[in-house]
């Protein structure tokens, strides 16, 4: 199921989570969640189990677990009568000092609010090598994992929505939280409100990490919103004559990217240390004597092209679409979208979560042929899959 919440709901959720952390179950780690679960099972405490049990309405109902604990002589034990040990990813083995009592293997899942019991199996002979054990035949295991991802509305949330059905086939239920600014998605990720976010490129991520001391990493590149090179006179870069006039943005935030695009097209060379804020003063080689006009603001670039100004004009994708252009058909060439491009939009996660299977599956699905086709058909070159 896909949920889309506005910012007011986000703030309400943050407040609610704060309350739950203060007075809710102790489940901030797998072992703490297992401890709470076992206290409930051995004390016959319905509420303790129920507080950490996400399977209570489907397969492993809390009253069933209590009944099973009673049948297997686990009710009445104290925490000194058993040992809890994490033996695998989100998997805990509970062994008992009385070897006549059957060990349990407990499986947990991670959600934004902590760790929760998911399924139970019998291990054999207190042997960690046998933790896979026999699944309790009267109950089945819940496999679906919830994944909460923050995103900008367009195109990020729309791409995630297109991927939701594929992810569900992979046993991942994605919840999409839509943001309308560029600060809150990273704050929500830092506050454990999200498992990942999808709205930014690497350059912005690095700036945010430095400014707020975040520990976020790039889990995978998904798409780029490419700058296009447009011309009323020529159909390819090779046709541009020596001394051609190329119009780019005068904005410092756009100029470096446009100059880097010209460098990728082998029209100019820039100083190696020019960086993302390169200017025309950083040009070191210009073998075709290209005249670069950086006198216009970004908002006027599409108009300049439509008026036939210059031999070529570089236009950002959003401005091209607003001007009625089809980047895929009208541009001579589009900015490269390989994953090394610092402007590729990424899935960002906390560093410790980069190897989570659900995160890796999310990135794989977003790079699948089905989603790549969806991106190309929907935005006609204004958004392009990363290569």
Residue 135 has pLDDT above 70, yes or no: no
Q: Are residues 240 and 326 in the same domain?
A: yes
- Which residue would you say has higher pLDDT here, 315 or 317? 315
Q: Are residues 350 and 303 in the same domain?
A: no
Range name among 252-266, 296-310, 332-346 with the lowest pLDDT average? 332-346
Number of domains in the chain: 3
State the average pLDDT over residues 120-132: 52
Q: Are residues 171 and 247 in the same domain?
A: no
CATH number reported for the structural domain that contains residue 252 in this entry: 3.40.190.10
Euclidean distance between CA atoms 182 and 157, whole angstroms: 14
Euclidean distance between CA atoms 7 and 10, whole angstroms: 5
Euclidean distance between CA atoms 145 and 282, whole angstroms: 50
Tokens, residue 239: 């046709």
Euclidean distance between CA atoms 297 and 147, whole angstroms: 40
Bridge partners of 197, per DSSP, are: 150, 348
Range name among 77-81, 183-187, 206-210, 317-321 with the lowest pLDDT average? 317-321
Residue 152 lies in a domain: yes
Residue 5 lies in a domain: no
- Which residue would you say has higher pLDDT here, 317 or 309? 309
Q: Are residues 163 and 58 in the same domain?
A: no
Residue 18 has pLDDT above 60, yes or no: no
Residue 1 lies in a domain: no
Q: Are residues 212 and 361 in the same domain?
A: yes
User: What is the distance of C-alpha 99 from the center of its chain?
Assistant: 45
Confidence of residue 122 (pLDDT cuts 50, 70, 90): confident
Residues 6+ positions from 325 with CB-CB distance below 8 Å: 228, 230, 302, 315, 331
To 10 degrees, what angle do helices 357-366 and 158-169 make?
A: 120
State the average pLDDT over residues 185-212: 94
Residue 2 has pLDDT above 80, yes or no: no
Tokens, residue 189: 């990720």
CATH number reported for the structural domain that contains residue 64 in this entry: 3.10.450
Q: Are residues 129 and 29 in the same domain?
A: yes
> What does DSSP say about strands 114-122 and 134-135: parallel, antiparallel, or unpaired?
antiparallel
Residue 4 has pLDDT above 60, yes or no: no
Confidence of residue 26 (pLDDT cuts 50, 70, 90): low
For 246, half-sphere exposure in the C-beta direction (CA atoms, 13 angstrom radius) is 30
Residue 132 has pLDDT above 80, yes or no: no
> What does DSSP say about strands 82-88 and 91-96: parallel, antiparallel, or unpaired?
antiparallel
Helix runs in the chain, H state only: 7-23, 30-43, 46-51, 62-71, 158-169, 184-190, 202-212, 252-264, 301-306, 317-322, 327-330, 357-366, 369-379
State the average pLDDT over residues 286-301: 95
373 is in which domain, residue-wise?
A: 145-221+345-385
> Which of 54-58, 108-112, 198-202, 285-289 is the most confident on average?
285-289
Residue 128, pLDDT score:
40
Q: Nearest 5°: CA angle at 13, between 217 and 210? A: 25
Q: Are residues 180 and 237 in the same domain?
A: no
State the average pLDDT over residues 232-240: 97
Residue 56, pLDDT score:
54
To 10 degrees, what angle do helices 369-379 and 158-169 make?
A: 160
- State percent of the chain over pLDDT 90: 59
Confidence of residue 127 (pLDDT cuts 50, 70, 90): very low
Residue 2 lies in a domain: no
Euclidean distance between CA atoms 374 and 15, whole angstroms: 37
Residue 54 has pLDDT above 90, yes or no: no
Residue 4 lies in a domain: no
Q: Are residues 349 and 217 in the same domain?
A: yes
Tokens, residue 83: 């040992």
State the average pLDDT over residues 34-51: 90
Residue 10 lies in a domain: no
Q: Are residues 193 and 232 in the same domain?
A: no
Residue 317, pLDDT score:
86
């Amino acid at each position: 199921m896909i949920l889309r919440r506005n910012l007011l709901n986000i703030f309400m959720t943050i407040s609610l989570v704060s309350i739950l952390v203060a007075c809710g179950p102790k489940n901030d780690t797998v072992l703490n969640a297992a401890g709470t679960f076992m206290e409930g099972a051995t004390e016959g405490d319905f509420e303790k189990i129920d507080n950490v049990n996400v399977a209570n309405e489907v397969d492993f109902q809390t009253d069933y677990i209590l009944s099973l604990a009673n049948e297997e002589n686990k009710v009445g034990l104290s925490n000194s009568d058993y040992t809890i040990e994490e033996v695998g990813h989100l998997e805990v083995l509970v062994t008992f000092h009385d070897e006549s009592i059957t060990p349990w293997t407990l499986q947990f899942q991670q959600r934004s609010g902590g760790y929760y019991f998911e399924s139970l199996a019998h291990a054999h002979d207190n042997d960690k090598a046998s933790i896979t054990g026999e699944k309790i035949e009267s109950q089945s295991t819940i496999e679906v994992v919830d994944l909460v991802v923050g995103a900008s509305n367009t195109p990020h949330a729309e791409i995630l929505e297109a991927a939701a059905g594929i992810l569900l086939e992979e046993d991942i239920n994605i919840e999409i939280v839509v943001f309308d600014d560029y600060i809150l998605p990273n704050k929500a990720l830092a506050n454990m409100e999200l498992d990942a976010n999808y709205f930014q490129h690497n350059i912005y991520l690095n700036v945010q990490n430095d400014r707020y001391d975040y520990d976020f990493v790039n889990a995978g590149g998904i798409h780029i919103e490419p700058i296009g090179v447009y011309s009323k006179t020529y159909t390819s870069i090779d046709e541009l004559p020596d001394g051609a006039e190329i119009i780019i943005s005068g904005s410092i935030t756009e100029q470096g990217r446009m100059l880097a695009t010209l460098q990728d097209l082998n029209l100019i060379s820039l100083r190696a240390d020019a960086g993302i804020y390169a200017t025309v003063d950083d040009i070191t080689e210009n073998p075709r004597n290209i005249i670069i006009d950086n006198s216009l603001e970004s908002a006027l670039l599409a108009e300049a092209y439509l008026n036939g100004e210059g031999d070529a004009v570089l236009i950002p994708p959003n401005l091209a679409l607003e001007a009625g252009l089809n980047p895929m058909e009208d541009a001579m060439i589009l900015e490269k979208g390989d994953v090394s491009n610092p402007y590729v939009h990424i899935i960002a996660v906390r560093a410790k979560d980069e190897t989570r299977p659900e995160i890796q599956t999310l990135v794989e699905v977003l790079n699948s042929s089905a989603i790549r086709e969806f991106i190309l058909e929907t935005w006609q070159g204004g958004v392009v899959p990363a290569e």
